Amino acid sequence: MNYTWRILKYSKIIQNNLDTLSYCNKPLDPISQTITHSQYDTQEIHKERWLHIYSQANKLLEVSVTATSMEIRLLVHSPPNIEVTVLEHLNLNDRVAMCIKQRVLGCKFTESLRKFQITFFNTQEVNIFMDKFNEMFSIKKITKHEKEDVKEEFLKKFFKMIGEVKEVGEFKTKKSRSKIIEEFLKLVQ
């Protein structure tokens, strides 16, 4: 089974000259824009160079998911031909962390510093994409109840490791937020 979605934008981080090549080793400079993005880090300004490719009248970006892989392709229409360039190819055994924020799907390879983003046309498409992706690769979503169980188990193991015996429920208080702030201010003065 093969599912394909049209996407608005493909972006990838550039760390060396090999990052300006596609998966099939074609240069991406003529068809892309390179922008330096800056963000504040803990002690300095962190700068990253990103390569961006947008869907346009003669350029079409698409992401395709099969039973064994995910592929991002660029189709350039120049009559009478259509040139297909594979931008990214993820196998089932690649370890990738994925994150969705609104219309953007971010992917980061855990073994390397490689990361890329794809932007869908709307939020419904990215949600449908992730549902199909999770279904095809049998990725289990963690429920809120399961997260709480994991957090509680982690705290128990942590306190056991440092030698303190405390129940997780001991950290909860019945005082209101304003009462806690008032007590804190008394301690500070």
pLDDT in tens, 128-180: 888 888 877 766 556 667 777 777 777 777 777 666 555 555 555 667 778 87
pTM confidence score:
0.67
Report the range of poorest mean pLDDT among 55-64, 89-98, 167-176.
167-176
According to the model, what pLDDT value does residue 6 have? Answer: 93
Across 70-91, average pLDDT = 89
Q: Which CATH number fits domain 3-136: 2.30.29, 2.60.40, 1.10.357, 2.40.10?
A: 2.30.29
According to the model, what pLDDT value does residue 162 have? Answer: 67
Round to whole Å and give the CA distance between 169 and 151: 12
The token pair that represents 171 in the structure block: 């950290």
Better-scored residue on pLDDT, 172 or 113: 113
Round to whole Å and give the CA distance between 82 and 64: 17
CA angle 184, 188, 189 (to 5 degrees): 120
Q: Is the pLDDT score of 104 beyond 80? A: yes
Give the domain ranges of the chain: 3-136, 144-188
Round to whole Å and give the CA distance between 164 and 89: 48
